[in-house]
């Protein structure tokens, strides 16, 4: 997976490309931790170029959501509707 992050309109935007799976999730988690530790608590995850999201990747996303909520921040998720709409509805409608 290729991950980049940029600053845009006060948000740190994570651009994820490829597969977020058990192999790549730990690296993303470390990157997110560094960004939050450096003071960014407004995050946007752009999943529009993500081909696959495993439960390990979902764990990173949900853990980040909880952490940002505790810190009084904001998190937004940008999904590509074709790939994730049913998944998103099933997982996040209960949150």
Compute CA distances 89 → 28, 29, 37, 85, 86, whole Å. 24, 24, 30, 6, 5
Q: Are 51 and 82 in contact (CB under 8 A)?
A: no
Q: pLDDT tens, 21-63?
A: 999 999 999 999 999 999 999 999 999 898 888 889 999 999 9
Its pTM stands at 0.81
Q: Which residue has the tokens 């993500």?
A: 50
Burial of 14 (0-12, 13-18, 19+ CB in 10 A): buried
| CATH fold for the domain made of 2-92 | Transcription Regulator spoIIAA (3.30.750)
What's the whole-number average pLDDT of the chain? 87
* CA gap 72, 84 in Å, rounded: 27
> Which tokens sit at 62?
């949900």
């Amino acid at each position: 997976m290729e991950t980049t992050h940029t600053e845009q309109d006060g948000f740190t935007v994570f651009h994820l490309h490829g597969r977020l799976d058990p192999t790549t999730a730990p690296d993303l988690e470390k990157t997110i931790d560094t960004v939050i530790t450096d003071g960014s608590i407004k995050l946007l995850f752009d999943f529009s170029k993500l081909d696959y999201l495993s439960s390990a990747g979902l764990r990173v996303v949900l853990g980040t959501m909880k952490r940002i909520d505790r810190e009084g921040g904001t998190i937004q998720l940008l999904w590509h509707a074709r790939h994730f709409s049913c998944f998103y509805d099933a997982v996040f409608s209960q949150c």
